[in-house]
Amino acid sequence: MKESWRWYGELDRISLPEIAQTGALGIVTALHDIPYGEVWERAAIAKRNAQIVEAGFEWVMVESLSVHEDIKRGEGDLERLFANYRQSMSNLASEGIKTICYNFMPLIDWTRTDLAAPVARGGACLRFDAPRMAAFEIHMLGRKDAVNDYPEAVVEQGGEWFRTATAEDQAALLHAIMSGLPGAYDRYSVTGLRTALRRYEGIGRDELRSNFRRFLNEVVPTAEELGMRLCVHPDDPPRDILGLSRIVSCEADIAWIMDAVPARANGLTLCAGSLGAGPENDIPAIAARFADRIHFAHLRNIRHDPDQSGSFEEAAHLNGGTDMVSLIHVLLEEETRRREAGLEDAEIPFRPDHGHDLLSDIERGAHPGYSLIGRMRGLAELRGVIAALEWSGKRELNGRI
């Protein structure tokens, strides 16, 4: 497996020389300053690639070549947007970058309510608190149907939080929810979010799926021609949010996407954390079913609150509800199958996703979830699991066990 690290370029407070000290060899990044829907010009791609190569890395993954909201809604000048996406793909391929991670989450990417929830023995983590999310939707946003989207106890707890919350508490909650948006783009105010949500009225699960299928039909053939791989990222959390449908949340959703355009270029980013936020998702089983379509892996773990409220927080990489050893075993087995089949892209890039804020991370102020020391700890733990499983496999192959 290819050790990689997400880097936000000039927006990142972690430098390439610092990343080099983690041992990672691949960089996962994007041109975050280019607005969604615009072409990534080859010169800009080449400049970023040269910067990465000169620092001793390989640009192994684009995360993300984002999908414009008009494509998700199925409105506007779609022909121009599809053409721009295909041109950006071609320009990336011309510079040797052949794999693109993207998502189809409407309006907002990953969603959390706390950016620095305390961790036992020190440090901080990202957390999704269902009562606070209910308070935001019902009382701050004023979404009338939100009361039906949460258990009664969660609605009551959210109401209690709102009644005692200060203006600063409410502002912090809005900031946390907006922090999942990537890059340098403006975050929504409550009023702005209401306006943006109105543009999705009448677009439910079926409509979103139809628009996703059209996107795939428009771009996957180009990926095949260019020898590229597209890999969709699951929803985070894998449930409807803000009244918006989420359609990449479970095994059945992934099966629909893989079957919609049954080409290897139409692949999956196996995000253990996003899928793991759904208690019903068996991550190693999902990985095993879609192993031949996995082109990228995000490895992190989730701890669910025992009250089954829907609240969760990000655990250390080898803790939480996902059996990380079993998951990595599936990915290593798939790499072996690919090598034996003579596939050129046998090695699966992965990155340690969303680390805790540990030690000096707390003062650094990096992107939420993208700490230096916390992710380095996660990478070291994952590296150890990979080494142990590879060693065990070699012993079995040699007949020593």
3-class SS string, 360-395: CHHHHCCCCCCCCHHHHHHHHHHHHHHHHHHHHHHH
307 noted as active-site residue = no
* Entry pTM: 0.95
Catalytic residue among 271, 329, 357, 361: 271
Q: Which two tokens stand for residue 195?
A: 């306006």
| Residue 32: active-site member | no
Which of the following is catalytic: 329, 354, 356, 361? 354
**Whole-angstrom distance, CA of residue 267 vs CA of residue 262:** 9
Q: Which has the closest alpha carbon to 75: 190, 202, 191, 182? A: 202
Residue 298 has, within 13 A of its CA and on its CB side, a CA count of 28
For residue 196, give the 3-state DSSP assignment.
helix
Given 149, 353, 357, 361, the catalytic residue: 353
- Per the annotation, the verdict on 304 as an active-site residue is no
Query: Cα(396)–Cα(240) distance, rounded to whole angstroms?
Result: 45
Question: CA-to-CA distance for 335 and 346, rounded, in angstroms?
Answer: 5
Q: 298, 304, 317, 329: which one is catalytic?
A: 298
Residue among 197, 204, 196, 273 nearest 233 (CA): 273
Catalytic annotation on 354? yes
pLDDT at 175: 95
Which residue in 265, 287, 284, 270 sits closest to 345, CA to CA? 265
Q: Which of 125, 150, 233, 236 is catalytic?
A: 233
Domain segments of the chain as ranges: 2-110+204-308+316-397, 114-196
Q: What are phi and psi of 74, to 5 degrees?
A: 70, 40
Per-residue confidence in pLDDT tens, the chain, 401 aa:
999 999 999 989 999 999 999 999 999 999 999 999 999 999 999 999 999 999 999 999 999 899 999 999 999 999 999 999 999 999 999 999 999 999 999 998 899 999 999 999 999 999 999 999 999 999 999 998 999 999 999 999 999 999 999 999 999 999 999 987 765 466 789 999 999 999 999 999 999 999 999 999 999 999 999 999 999 999 999 999 999 999 999 999 999 999 999 999 999 999 999 999 999 999 999 999 999 999 999 999 999 999 989 999 999 999 999 999 999 999 999 999 999 999 988 999 999 999 999 999 999 999 999 999 999 999 999 999 999 999 987 767 666 54
Radius of gyration (C-alpha) of the chain in whole angstroms: 21
Cβ neighbours of residue 313 closer than 8 Å, sequence gap 6 or more: 114, 117, 125, 126, 127, 128, 302, 303, 305
- CA-CA distance, 353 to 301, in Å (whole number)? 9
β-bridge partners, 3? 350
Amino acid in position 380: A
Question: What is the distance between the terminal CA atoms of the chain, rounded to a whole angstrom?
Answer: 24
Number of Cβ atoms within 10 Å of the Cβ of 192: 12
If phi > 0 it is left, if psi is from -120 to 50 it is alpha, else beta; for residue 223 that is alpha
Interatomic CA distance for residues 269 and 272, integer angstroms? 9
- Tell me what pLDDT residue 393 has: 79
Residue 35, phi then psi, degrees to nearest 5:
-60, 150
Neighbours of 339 (CB within 10 A): 12
Q: Does the domain made of 2-110+204-308+316-397 have the CATH classification 3.40.50.10320?
A: no
